[in-house]
């Protein structure tokens, strides 16, 4: 491998974007995440490529532009696989150069996943635009040639502005299957969903840290084509919890930032969707314990906690609802963030036997803050097991807890 490729491997151009709900065979029970990609054209193409994000013209390492380097080093078929399955992340500051690169290198026929992040402070290259809506729409229209784009993650910090999402997204991204809106201000949930009606192939939607949503006066439109929905840090969450049970195709859900007043609506949703819900990610709290007895078809359960007091008094009660019903449950994931003394706080004497009683369980994962001997400690507590056990740190994991990147099913 040449020096340029070695430098590329040691750079931060590829960032691990963990997928927690992937349905793939694992041959090693305690395997580690794959390392950086090689740009050696003769190397075997890595099957885990979809787990990576490419930073286009990384601000700190402009000379190591991931896109241009890969284009020069890989064969045409490899380029297609790379840009179809990995996510290209573009900042507003290099957005124009990215658009030019699409045309000059014909990358537009390859790009399948795009993460666009920008704000209103001149990030588009315009000092003082008079009409943010027009500017927003004009810039996104430059991406219309991305005919193979299936995933769009838009992080648009527009302050107190409210761009017209239906007119900006609908006409320009008719091919997308996954739409993720993060750190963005909108007038209402109804407006967001209205933009999805014009996307005929849309199947997955995530709303993460969307802000200043007004109270809903108008009815929220149905999206019968959606099968995956993720929401986190959203105002008026009760509107979503009332809306979800009426969606006929939903079978994967991630919900974060639950409050005690939301639990009743969450239980109604689980009772309604339970027989067809396959993947569920919920934030856990001692004050917010849901009834999981209705999710009889569940295949993946992820429990996320941000508790700082390290109290897990109700975790066994949450899991005890599963053994008699979870005949399809294959994977359970525990995410313990900001939890002090997690080893002492977890009731291993109850959690271990509950996990062991799930006959269909194949994989259990723990994500904890990097700690020496964490893997050894957890393996010792769960020594009597038939399932594969994996322990990982939280580095690069908490970008957005309810991001669509958690679903690769």
Condensed to tens digits (0 to 9), the pLDDT of residues 189-225 reads 888 888 888 899 999 999 887 765 565 566 889 999 9
For the chain, the helix, strand and coil percentages under 3-state DSSP, each to the nearest 5: 30, 20, 50
pLDDT for 179 equals 93
DSSP string over 4-58: HHHHHHHSSSEEE---SS-----S-TTPPPP-PPP--TTSPPPTTGGGEEEETT-
Which has more pLDDT, 315 or 179? 179
Q: How many CB atoms lie within 10 A of CB 336?
A: 23
Beta bridge mates, 151: 113, 178
The strand pair at 14-16 and 388-393 is best described as unpaired
Nearest to 309 by CA among 284, 335, 287, 340: 340
Contacts of 83 (CB under 8 A, 6+ apart): 107, 110, 111, 112, 113
* Average pLDDT score over the chain: 72
Condensed to tens digits (0 to 9), the pLDDT of residues 138-195 reads 778 888 888 889 999 888 766 555 556 656 788 888 899 999 988 777 777 888 888 8
Could you state, in order of their start, the residue ranges of all structural domains in the chain? 253-409
Contacts of 258 (CB under 8 A, 6+ apart): 237, 266, 282, 283, 285, 288
| pLDDT band with cut points at 50, 70 and 90 for residue 405 | low
Nearest to 316 by CA among 331, 329, 334, 300: 334
257, 237 contact by CB (below 8 A): yes
pLDDT for 258 equals 75
Q: Rounded to an integer, what distance in angstroms lies between the CA atom of residue 260 and that of residue 217?
A: 24
| pLDDT band with cut points at 50, 70 and 90 for residue 408 | low
pLDDT score of 396 more than 70: no
| pLDDT band with cut points at 50, 70 and 90 for residue 393 | confident
Which has more pLDDT, 60 or 133? 133
Angle of the 66-73 helix axis to the 3-10 helix axis, nearest 10: 140
- Window from 348-357, 360-369, 377-386, 396-405 with minimum mean pLDDT: 396-405
pLDDT for 227 equals 94
Encoding tokens for residue 184? 């963005």
Q: Give the percent of the chain with pLDDT over 90.
A: 17
Nearest to 202 by CA among 231, 232, 235, 180: 180
Report the pLDDT averaged over residues 29-49: 38
Q: ∠333-338-344 over CA atoms, to 5°?
A: 75
CATH number for the 253-409 domain, one of 3.80.10, 1.25.40, 1.10.287, 3.40.109? 3.80.10
Task: Compute CA distances 134 → 91, 138, 139, 162, 198, whole Å.
Answer: 19, 6, 9, 11, 19
């Amino acid at each position: 491998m040449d020096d340029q490729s070695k430098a590329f491997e040691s750079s931060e151009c590829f960032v691990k974007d963990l997928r927690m709900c992937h349905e793939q065979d694992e041959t090693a029970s305690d395997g580690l995440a794959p390392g950086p990609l090689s740009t050696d054209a003769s190397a075997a193409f890595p099957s885990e490529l979809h787990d990576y994000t490419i930073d286009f013209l990384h601000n700190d390492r402009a000379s190591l532009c991931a896109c241009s380097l890969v284009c020069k080093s890989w064969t045409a078929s490899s380029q297609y696989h790379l840009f179809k399955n990995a996510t290209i992340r573009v900042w507003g500051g290099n957005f124009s150069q990215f658009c030019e690169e699409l045309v000059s290198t014909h990358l537009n026929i390859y790009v399948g996943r795009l993460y666009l992040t920008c704000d209103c402070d001149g990030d588009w290259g315009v000092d003082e635009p008079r009409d943010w809506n027009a500017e927003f729409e004009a810039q996104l229209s430059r991406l219309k040639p991305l005919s193979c784009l299936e995933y769009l993650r838009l992080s648009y910090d527009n302050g107190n502005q409210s761009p017209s999402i239906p007119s900006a997204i609908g006409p320009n991204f008719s091919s997308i299957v996954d739409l993720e809106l993060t750190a963005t201000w909108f007038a209402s949930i109804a407006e967001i969903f209205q933009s999805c009606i014009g996307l005929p192939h849309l199947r997955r939607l995530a709303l993460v840290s969307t802000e200043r949503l007004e109270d809903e006066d108008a009815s929220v439109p149905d999206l019968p084509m959606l099968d995956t929905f993720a929401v986190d840090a959203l105002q008026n969450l009760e509107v979503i919890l009332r809306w979800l049970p009426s969606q006929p195709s939903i079978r994967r859900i991630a919900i974060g930032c639950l409050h005690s007043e939301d639990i009743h609506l969450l239980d109604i949703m689980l009772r309604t969707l339970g027989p067809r819900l396959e993947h569920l990610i919920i934030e856990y709290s001692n004050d917010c314990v849901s009834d999981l007895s209705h999710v009889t078809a569940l295949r993946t359960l992820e429990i996320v906690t941000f508790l700082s007091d390290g109290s897990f008094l109700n975790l066994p009660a949450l899991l005890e609802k599963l053994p008699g019903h979870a005949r399809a449950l294959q994977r359970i994931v525990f995410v313990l963030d900001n939890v002090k003394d997690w080893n002492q706080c977890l009731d291993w004497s109850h959690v271990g036997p509950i996990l062991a009683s799930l006959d269909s369980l194949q994989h259990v994962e723990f994500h904890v803050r990097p700690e020496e001997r964490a893997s050894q400690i957890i393996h010792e507590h769960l020594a009597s097991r038939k399932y594969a056990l994996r322990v990982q740190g939280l580095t690069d994991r908490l970008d957005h807890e309810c991001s669509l990147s958690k679903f690769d099913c």
